[in-house]
């Protein structure tokens, strides 16, 4: 069975950890059996450091979607989208492409979006230094 998991959640909620654990559980050690598509990957510079550039965000989202569609076209059995996906429009193209290519699609919300204490935790532990104010705004805008 071909599966796509679309992860949704605030920065620091554990999406990337969840994605890797899901891949390990469902595909085992065989990295040819899964692809994790994260726009964050495109912000890693040659020194391996994360450098966010809001002006490149649309371009990198398009590159991530292209990588996703390429994985589907290669019939990779498990494809995981590891983005915040706060608004439904942000991941609808992923879902539609997956369905069109015969994949079962599951949307997974990682973490507690509306819990204020969890937002504080996410602000402390997210790897991109996104402040609590931004995380709280994202939580407010989250579409169910």
pLDDT at 34 over 90: yes
Residue 144 lies in a domain: no
> Which strands, in side-by-side order, build the sheet including 34-37?
34-37, 78-82, 3-8, 104-109
Structure tokens belonging to residue 125: 């532990």
Give me the mean pLDDT over the 34-44 stretch.
Answer: 98
CATH number, domain of 133, equals: 3.40.50.300
* Polymer length in residues for the chain: 144
Does any domain span residue 14?
yes
Q: Does any domain span residue 59?
A: yes
| Predicted TM-score (pTM) of this structure | 0.96
Q: Are 135 and 12 in contact (CB under 8 A)?
A: yes
Taking a C-beta distance cutoff of 8 angstroms, is the pair 111, 14 a contact? yes
Q: Any idea which residue has 């193209």 for tokens?
A: 93
What are the structure tokens assigned to 62, written together? Answer: 């398009």
**Per-residue confidence band for 29, with pLDDT thresholds at 50, 70 and 90:** confident
Spatial separation of the C-alpha atoms in residues 43 and 107, rounded to whole Å: 24
108 inside domain: yes
Closest to 68 measured CA to CA, from 23, 26, 31, 38 = 38
Residue 38 lies in a domain: yes
Other CB atoms within 10 A of residue 36 CB: 22
Residue 119 lies in a domain: yes
Q: What is the average per-residue pLDDT within 31-47?
A: 97
> CA-CA distances (angstroms) from residue 130 to 11, 12, 46, 96, 120?
7, 9, 22, 30, 11
* Structural domains in the chain (count): 1
Annotate 125-143 with b (16+ C-beta within 10 A) or e (fewer).
Answer: ebeeebebeebbebbeebe
Task: Please give the residue range of the domain that contains residue 1.
Answer: 1-139
Is 128 inside a domain boundary?
A: yes
> What was the pLDDT predicted at 85?
98
> What tens digit of pLDDT does each residue of 69-106 get?
999 999 999 999 999 999 999 999 999 999 999 999 99
Query: Alpha-carbon distance 20 to 142, whole Å?
Result: 24
């Amino acid at each position: 069975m071909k599966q796509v998991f679309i992860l949704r959640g605030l920065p620091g909620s554990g999406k990337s950890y969840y994605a890797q654990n899901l891949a390990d559980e469902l595909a085992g050690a065989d990295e040819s059996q899964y692809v994790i598509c994260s726009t964050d990957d495109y912000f890693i510079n040659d020194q391996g450091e994360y450098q966010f550039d809001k002006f490149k965000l649309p371009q990198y989202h398009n590159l991530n979607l292209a990588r996703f569609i390429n994985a589907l076209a290669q019939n990779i059995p498990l494809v995981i989208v590891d983005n915040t996906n706060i608004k439904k429009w942000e991941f609808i193209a992923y879902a539609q492409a997956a369905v069109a290519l015969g994949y079962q699609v599951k949307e997974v919300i990682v973490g507690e979006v509306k819990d204020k204490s969890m937002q504080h935790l996410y602000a402390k532990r997210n790897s991109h230094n996104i402040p609590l104010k931004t995380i709280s705004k994202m939580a407010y805008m989250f579409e169910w």
